[in-house]
Structure formats: structure tokens, C-alpha cells
Chain A
């Protein structure tokens, strides 16, 4: 006796018929369904907490609010971003999986840590950008980038300089300053950006290269002084901080955060995503969020965004070769 069969045989037949009918009704509907047909996976390529995760979560929240789309944030950390990227690559190119990623893409590709190229990615839009800055404690005698360069010229390796990660964006910027100023400095790498202001405040390093937001409370209270910031013009958020450029050093680069989808995603879907992002960026709440986080809007999309990433990869590769991180 078949006592595991819970549904009588006749009912099974009926059920199958019903399912078949339903599918026949629904399937054509789905084919013509508007994007998005289902939940949008917002895949953040770093762990929870931290600037990128906050950006991804706020974006997901705003897309739900403004467009009434369902979104779900997923953290896919690991492999310097490779894990997040390969997750997006494993999903269909239908625009339902967004990658939330940063300018460290350039470092990862230049060093060969990320086994993908810019051809695998459909760059959608860079929505946040943050410069790096040369930061010292408030009691430091250094008052300008010039002071710093002069001191380092007179005392090679005289100051302990450090910042987040080894061979990454911040060290790349210091390297450019070294080349232009003609001095030599070591680099104290930090494994998290939060430790940089702590080590500056504690006097463990004399100067740091950091994004102003990693020690925002200290920057705003004046406990940490920024000598220069890597923007073309002064930031509207920190108008008292001079740029490197106005002090005679050509340092103008930012670490961006943006959205991408898998290459091969239909253009009409990308256009719909762009329209959604337009709506988010126009909202008062998003502007308020950008202001609170002291984020610049790079206003880069599609081809221009991709071009920036490719330029950065080239520059980083050049730096890594010169600094001896990779062989020519």
C-alpha cells in the first residue's frame, strides 16, 4: 500500500491540468513584462559596514522608494572584488543583478588579482567620488603641502606616512606627490581605513593619506588638519581645505563608487536603470545623503565611466611597475 501518497491520483491529474493552464496564461504575460520582472539583487562587493556598503544600501532603499521596485542588498566580499564580480557574471545579463563597486577595480585588474577585464562589465554610472587628502594631527607644525614636501626633501624618510592598503589608490597618490615634489617617503599600510585617523590621532604616523570621510568627526572638529585634497577645485563640503593643484602639485583623482551590470545586458534595460538612477539622484533625500557623507558627484555614465576606469587601470599599472610591485 502506498501510504506516502498524500494526494489521490485523480486530484493529481487535476492539479497538473491546473498548473499547465496557469502557466499558459502567465507565461505570455511574463514575456511582455516590464523591467524589472522580479527583485533586483544589489550585490555589494565588500562586506557589511564601510562606505561602499552604506552607499549600496542607501541606493537600494532609494530605488525602492522612488521607483517602487523591490530590491535586495547582498554582500559578496572576497578576492579583492573578484567574488562579487564573478557572482554578477554567473547571473543572466538581464539587469536584475547590479554590482556595487569602487575604483579599487583599477588596482585589482592592474595587479592581476581580478580575473576579469572591462569588457566583461557594462559600466552604468559612477554616483559618488571621494578624493584623498594629506592629513596631519592638529598640533603638527606642517601647515601646507609645501611644508610637507620641503621637510621630506630635507629629511628623506623623515616622517612616517601611511594610509589604507598597500599599493592601492592612496599610496598611488603619494607616489605621484613624491615624483612631483622630488622627495622620498616610506609607506605604512593599514588594513582598514578607520585605523588611519586613529594612528594619526595617536601620533603613530606623522601624516596620512586618507579620504576625508574615514575620519570625518576629527576633520570637522579640527583634531585632524587636511593639508591638501586631490580635487580640481575646492570641495563645497570642506571649503577651507586647499587643493593640491592650487599649491602647485598636479594631483587630481578620486576613488569612485558606482553601479554596473553584466556586459551584454540589453540597452533598453540599461536605459531604464539610468532613468531610475536619475530619479534617485534628483530626490532631496539623496542630495541630503551625499551632503552628509561629503561625497562629490562625478556625473559619469556609460562610455565615459568606462573610459575613466580604463585610464585608471593604465595609470595604476604604470605606478605599480615603477614602485616595484609588479614586473614589467
Chain B
């Protein structure tokens, strides 16, 4: 045991191991920041370079990339309002406003710190509780997935920026968009109008880029051009002790949410970032600051999406089943190296597993260090005038939309959603509910119908499964809590007078 631990340590800390982690982190930040590339494409790009490396070394390179890409997604989300990965969508909400206020370094610093803390939370969960948590993942059947989706929908109200009715309207739009594509139960295309590009549904990241990034270009185009100077000094980039004290609880709770949702196959960062954001907002004493550059609004989703890395590795290692698109690619890489992921690895090749665990921990540290070193650089090249910014966003968005599937059709989708997003923003409709409903719509619909197929039409299946019952009760509670708490407050006041 100790011997394997030491030899695993040697693999990680010998020059080659550290070099691979550094390369993985640098490439990861880059692919994360480029919309359309992302962690899974990043890994496929690097697979050919790993053929001559040992499996443990290849794993170090690839997981470092995965971890850093989840942070990298926030860089473009903050600087150019373009989420680089779909799990960075929630980071746009407060990251971009904070940048607009003139604190890009500050926003990036919070994101980097939160990503590191969240990443560590996920890794610790992976190292200590992989087996019991994997058993938990098995308990989630279709009714429980449905209930999680429902629970996710309760966050729509708080994501609606003070206008729940408008929030609800756009959420319905998102749900409607989610029905486009091949019907998960009957297997036939719905509302695809014969466009084979739509068979797999409206591509999510493409929509995201349109709604958040392109619509921002139109907003910029309308504004009077200003060549704002960023007054921020570079010393702001490391968080002060006071900020750490304020933000650490948010980061840890975001990390826990991310880990748990990362474990559940098929849920992951896209949903975790919004739920973590919602939690942070609800627990905040100043929820009105959210959406205007609140530090907690950056810390929570960023901690959550990095924590999903450790979380998603749990079913991969403990069950041999990938829980996310990125772990599916990672599993492919392992198989190409002649290794079948699964629980038997813990006894057959413990050295590699230990090297992976140590490597993940080291990679979070390296990510923090390298991230800090590159921060001033990012912040400086991005402190450009609005006219340059607008052009940069257009280029990044269209290239990103195209790279994802190499389809020109996707560029039109981005353009469509850019215009739609602009119109909606003009009428002060909030954006997040559409995005959230699009992710959750499929989860809710397919699992609701699958559950009913399983129970042959009986709705009691949603109450009989304990996990589903818990989440349904939680959803109802969260939905009605604001009304109940207001009632209680009113009654207290009236009884006092």
C-alpha cells in the first residue's frame, strides 16, 4: 500500500508528470475559454499525443485538461460575456457585470479561487467516498431524475431578476425549445421540420452563445462608444483575507452541489451551476446585488462546475460507466490504452488510481498558480474598447458555433438566438430561465414518460421512490416558501402591534 502510494507519488512529481500537468492545465484553460472547444473536444485533440505515454501519465494530462477547462469557461464568460463551456453560463450573470464595472481582474480572481476550492471539494469526495457515492448514483431511477429536474425548475423564480411572470414566460419558451428533436420515447423527430441538423435537438451551447454573447453585441452597438479605462490595479487579483472569509462558505456549498450533481449520470455542470447560483442568491443578505456583479454570484457556479469533475469521475472509476460527455471521452482514451475502467482497477492497478488521485490534487494547485500568473495578462488584453470587444464577440461566437459540429447551420442558429435574445432583453425578459428550462426540459420530459412507462401509467411511482419523493417535497417547499414566510412575517407583525 505504502509502496504503491510512493511510486504513484513519483509518477506525479517526476519532471515528466509535472510537465504533463502544466501542459494539461494550460491547454485546458485555452480550450475552456474558446467557445465551441470545451473539455471533451480538448481531450480528443490530445488523445493522439498520449499514445506513446504510459496510461498513468496520459491520465494526468487529460484530467488536468478537464479540470482547467471547467475554469477556462469562466474566462470568456467574464471577459466577453460568452460562456466558453455550457457549465459557465451562470458565471456570465455576475462575472460580466463586474467586468463592465471595471474590475475584470477581480472577477477572474474570484472565479479562479472558487474553481480551485470547488475542484478540491470534488477531488476529496472522489478520493474518500467514491464507492458509497457510486452506490448513491445507482439509486437514481427515472422518477428521481424527473424530480431533480422539477427541483431545478423552482430556481426559475429567483433567476427572473425581480419579474417572476416574465421569467415564467421565457421558461415556457425554453421548455418548448427542448421538445424539438427526436422524441425520446417514440424515437421520431418532432418539430424538426425535416432538418436533420435538428434531430438531436436545438444544440445547447450554440443557443447559449446566441442568447448571451451575440445579443450583447447588439446591446453594445446601440450604446454610445466609450473607451473606458480600467482603473483596477493588478494587486486586486488575489483575494483579500476578508473576501476569502466571505466567499469560502459559498465556494464550499457550491462545491458540494457540484459534486453531487456531477455523480448523477446525465445531470452534471449545466444544471449544477444554476442550482449553486440560486442557493447563493437565496442565502445572501443582499440578493438584489445578484446580476449586477455580486462576488458570490461568480464564486458559487464556478465552484460547482469544477466540483463536477471529481463527481463525474466517481461513476467512471467505481462503476466503469461514464456520467458525462467528457468522462465518456476519457473512458475512450483509457480503452485505447488497453484499460477497461471499472471497480476492478482499484485492486488490479492501484498505482494508477493513486497517481490519478494525487495528480488531481496537484492539478488544482497548478491551475491556481498558472491561473494567477496568466490573470493579469488576460485582464490586460481584454481591457479593450467596446468596438473591439463587439467584433471579438462576433468572431468567437460564430467560430465557436461552427466548431462544435462543423455545421454552417449552427451559425444560423446562433444568429437567430442572438436576435431573439436582443429582443427579449429589450423587453426586459431575463435570459437564465430559457437556458435552464432548455436543459431541464429534456430531463423532465424523458424521465417523466419513462417512469410512467415503467409503472404502466400509474403516477404513484413518483411517491414510491424515496429519492423522487424527497425532491418533489423539496420542490413544493421551495416553490411555496416565499409565500409562507411572508405570511409568517405578516402575522408576527400584526400580533406585535
Binding site for B on A (CB under 8 A): 47-50, 53-54, 57-58, 61, 73-80, 82-83, 86-87, 111, 113, 115, 157, 160, 165-168, 186-192, 194-195, 197-199, 201-205, 215-218, 220-221, 288-289, 292-293, 325
Contact = CB atoms under 8 A, between A and B. Distances in A.
Contact of B321 (A167, A194, A289): A194
A74 B328 CA distance: 16
B388 to A, nearest CB: 22
A199 B266 contact: no
Nearest to A200: B138
B386 interface: no
B446 to A, nearest CB: 6
Contacts of B454: 160, 186, 188, 204-205
A131 to B, nearest CB: 18
A190 B319 CA distance: 18
Nearest to B450: A188
B5 interface: no
Nearest to A294: B340
B343 interface: yes
B361 interface: no
A86 B409 CA distance: 14
B23 interface: no
Interface stretch (B39-47, B168-176, B290-298, B367-375): B39-47
List 10 tightest A-B contacts by C-beta distance, closest first.
A217-B342, A49-B328, A79-B196, A217-B320, A204-B141, A166-B187, A202-B138, A49-B329, A82-B196, A167-B187
B338 interface: yes
Contacts of A190: 450
B139 A202 contact: yes
A58 B322 CA distance: 19
Given A47-B325, A198-B265, 17 more contacts: A49-B326, A49-B327, A58-B336, A74-B406, A77-B405, A80-B196, A82-B196, A113-B189, A191-B446, A197-B319, A199-B141, A203-B141, A218-B342, A220-B344, A221-B343, A293-B335, A325-B186
Contacts of B406: 74, 76, 87
B342 A216 contact: yes
B331 A186 contact: no
Interface in B319-356: 319-322, 325-332, 335-336, 338, 340-344
Nearest to A214: B321
Contacts of A288: 338
A165 B141 contact: no
Nearest to B406: A76
A76 to B, nearest CB: 7
B230 interface: no
B450 A189 contact: yes
A14 to B, nearest CB: 36
A192 B327 CA distance: 14
Given A50-B328, A53-B332, A325 B340 contact: no
Contacts of B322: 49, 194
B137 interface: yes
Interface string B387-419: 000000000000000000111000000000000
Nearest to A71: B48
A83 B41 contact: no
Contact of A54 (B48, B138, B335): B335
Contact of A325 (B187, B189, B265, B329): B187
Nearest to B143: A204
B440 to A, nearest CB: 15
A77 B342 CA distance: 27
B420 interface: no
A192 B187 CA distance: 13
B51 interface: yes
B40, B199, B326 interface centre (most CB from chain A within 10 Å): B199
A82 B41 CA distance: 21
A111 B196 CA distance: 13
B246 interface: no
Nearest to A202: B138
Contacts of A78: 196-197, 199-200, 405, 407
B184 interface: yes
Contacts of B265: 194-195, 198
A29 B437 CA distance: 58
Interface in B423-448: 446
B185 interface: yes
Contacts of B336: 54, 57-58, 61
A57 B48 CA distance: 9
Nearest to A74: B406
A317 B142 CA distance: 30
Given A57-B47, A113-B199, A217 B182 contact: no
A34 to B, nearest CB: 24
Interface string B21-54: 0000000000000000000110110011001000
B238 interface: no
A197 B196 contact: no
Nearest to B340: A216
B329 A48 contact: yes
B324 to A, nearest CB: 9
A47 B205 CA distance: 15
A239 to B, nearest CB: 18
A167 B183 CA distance: 11
A82 B195 CA distance: 10
Contacts of A53: 329, 332
Contacts of B344: 217, 220-221
B453 interface: yes
Nearest to B324: A49
Best-surrounded residue of B43, B341, B342 (most CB of chain A within 10 A): B342
Nearest to B194: A115
Contacts of A82: 196, 199
Nearest to B331: A49
B407 A83 contact: yes
B254 to A, nearest CB: 26
Contacts of A289: 338
B142 A80 contact: no
Contacts of B450: 188-190
B496 interface: no
B140 A202 contact: yes
A217 B339 CA distance: 11
29 contacts: A48-B332, A50-B332, A54-B336, A57-B47, A58-B336, A61-B48, A61-B336, A73-B44, A78-B196, A80-B182, A83-B197, A166-B184, A167-B187, A186-B453, A188-B450, A189-B453, A191-B184, A194-B265, A195-B265, A199-B142, A201-B138, A202-B138, A215-B320, A216-B342, A217-B319, A217-B342, A217-B343, A221-B344, A325-B187
B140 A166 contact: no
B455 to A, nearest CB: 9
Interface string B304-328: 0000000000010001111001111
B491 interface: no
B141 A218 contact: no
Given A48-B44, A57-B47, A166-B186, A80 B199 contact: yes
Contact of A79 (B188, B199, B315, B327): B199
Contacts of A87: 406
Contacts of B492: none
B493 interface: no
